[in-house]
Chain A
Amino acid sequence: MAETTPLIKVRDVHFSRGSKLIFDGVDMDIQRGKVTAIMGPSGTGKTTLLKLIGGQLRPSAGSIEVDGQNIHQLKHKQLYQLRKKMGMLFQSGALLTDITVFDNVAFPLREHTKLPESMIRHLVLMKLHAVGLRGARDLMPAELSGGMARRVALARAIALDPMMIMYDEPFTGQDPISMGVLVQLIRLLNDVLGLSSIVVSHDVKETCAIADYVYLVSAGKVVEHGSPEQLAQSDSEWSQQFMQGMADGPVPFHYAAKEYAKDLLGVEA
């Protein structure tokens, strides 16, 4: 029974930064074993949503349950226990810059387990092999390309064999080869390791290629959700504009301004 319940339940979540409303009643279910994508224009708070799910931010109203536990009612120790089962891949990779690739991947194992160093070495090499970077173990993070840094971060995120991974804009700024590798890795790791994945992105083509379910978020609300195929055939003009990357539509090309001619002539509106 528990297997069929969603891994994450987001219910009526409201969140503001200062006077700016970011979420105005968001509901979502993230299913176990699936790749769920959260897409939307830049600045809609997709990364904020991941931080809310990870308990790094607190909503002003509503609740978020992860694996049956309301994450914002957990004590500090319980929250950290739960986070051991949650992996997160940051947009920048967030690797520790003063230690090698090997030590970065070994970091969570050394922090949370008492495994002997010989076993940590095996585990780290296995995780690095899974992302194709076993040969880069002795490099420093500064010596890695953006795509390699994200793959190392991915190896680190799976080091403790988590139940889920959250990917924050994994494809941004990647060349086609790195992007292809990341797309393939996200799907492969999800299926082989039996994970649940949340991919936050605005790269429609790549994300839809691997997502089982997609939530479209804009202006603080879930605009539409469904499988990539369902969204491709949506009647919503906004969804069509976003999915097909059209320059003009319900989201206008021009930022709100006074009339063009009057503006050029310097006439007050």
Chain B
Amino acid sequence: MLDYLQRLGATSLSMFERLGRGSVFFVNVLLSIPSVVVRPRLLVAQVYSVGVLSFSLIIISGLFVGMVLALQGFYTLSDFGAEGMLGVMVAASLVRELGPVVTALLFAGRAGSALTAEIGLMKATEQLSGMEMMAVDPVKRIMAPRFLAGLISMPILATLFSAVGVLGGYFIGVGLLGIDEGGFWSQMQAKIDFDQDIINGLIKSVVFGWVVTWIAIFEGYDAIPTSEGVGRATTRTVVHSAFAILLLDFILTALMFGDV
């Protein structure tokens, strides 16, 4: 029993210690952001790497999610004779929930794991130490541009996901299932609220972008500098990001839409 309590205490302490290290690291990254603004080339390269290179994954996933939503939604709505609301259902689901959440999960798998592996390997091959000894701060040169790139890319990717998803819904709803095209778009235009739906969805995607990128770069920076250590850190990035996204999604949804 005492052993169990001791182990529990040690695990909790180590968890809080890691959280503390992660928070200090995050503050250092934030303080380094002005140095990125002065050198936009570093930022552009990272936006390309974490954002642009994720386009194909996001577009394909968004298209299929939108198509599936339309199929599933049609059969449920048709029971109530409400097929005309299909556009609203697809758009609301995507903009409010699936756009930010699924994009963030895909982003964690595609860009987050790549960031952790890249930074972890830089640590394992002493590239980060080498930079420090060349008087180049790796937090400013490596971490801050990647963090900012993640923060910028996530809302763009989530928007792209939702837009392509709506198109997927349109192809299935109007093209395949024969719903009236005018009704599909006009209902969507009438019912989707810019502040309530679109802005709140964007806020979610920014928050998810922040948490996923923070986890990814910290895990890489804090990784044990061996191949096994980097492998474990990469796994942790995906798992912790998924938990954080789903937990934050619940909290944000309760705050944004709880009183509706």
Contacts and interface: CB of A to CB of B under 8 A. Distances in A.
A189 interface: no
B124 to A, nearest CB: 9
B127 interface: yes
Interface stretch (B97-105, B132-140, B209-217): B132-140
Contacts of B126: 90-92, 94
Contacts of B137: 80
Contacts of B136: 107-108, 111-112
B130 interface: yes
B134 A107 contact: yes
Interface residues of A, number: 24
Contact of B125 (A81, A83, A87, A92): A92
A96 interface: yes
B187 interface: no
B129 interface: yes
A80 B135 contact: yes
Contacts of B130: 88, 90, 94-96, 153
Contact of B129 (A80, A94, A156, A160): A94
Contacts of B129: 51, 56, 90, 94
The A interface, classified by DSSP as helix, strand, loop or mixed, is mixed
Interface centre among B125, B135, B136, B141 (most CB of A within 10 A): B135
Interface string A47-77: 0000100101000000000000000000000
A86 interface: yes
A84 B135 contact: yes
B80 to A, nearest CB: 56
Contacts of A42: none
A4 interface: no
A33 B134 CA distance: 21
Contacts of B134: 83-84, 107-108, 111, 156, 160
Interface in A109-158: 111-112, 153, 156
A19 interface: no
B131 to A, nearest CB: 8
Contacts of B127: 94-97
Nearest to A87: B133
A99 to B, nearest CB: 11
B133 A88 contact: yes
A92 B125 CA distance: 7
B125 A112 contact: no
B38 to A, nearest CB: 13
A97 B125 contact: yes
A56 B137 CA distance: 12
B31 to A, nearest CB: 11
A84 B136 CA distance: 9
Interface in B95-154: 125-127, 129-130, 132-137, 141
Nearest to B141: A111
5 contacts: A80-B135, A87-B133, A94-B129, A97-B125, A107-B134
Given A107-B134, A111-B135, A111-B136, 13 more contacts: A56-B132, A80-B137, A84-B135, A86-B133, A90-B130, A92-B125, A94-B125, A94-B127, A94-B129, A97-B125, A97-B127, A112-B136, A156-B134
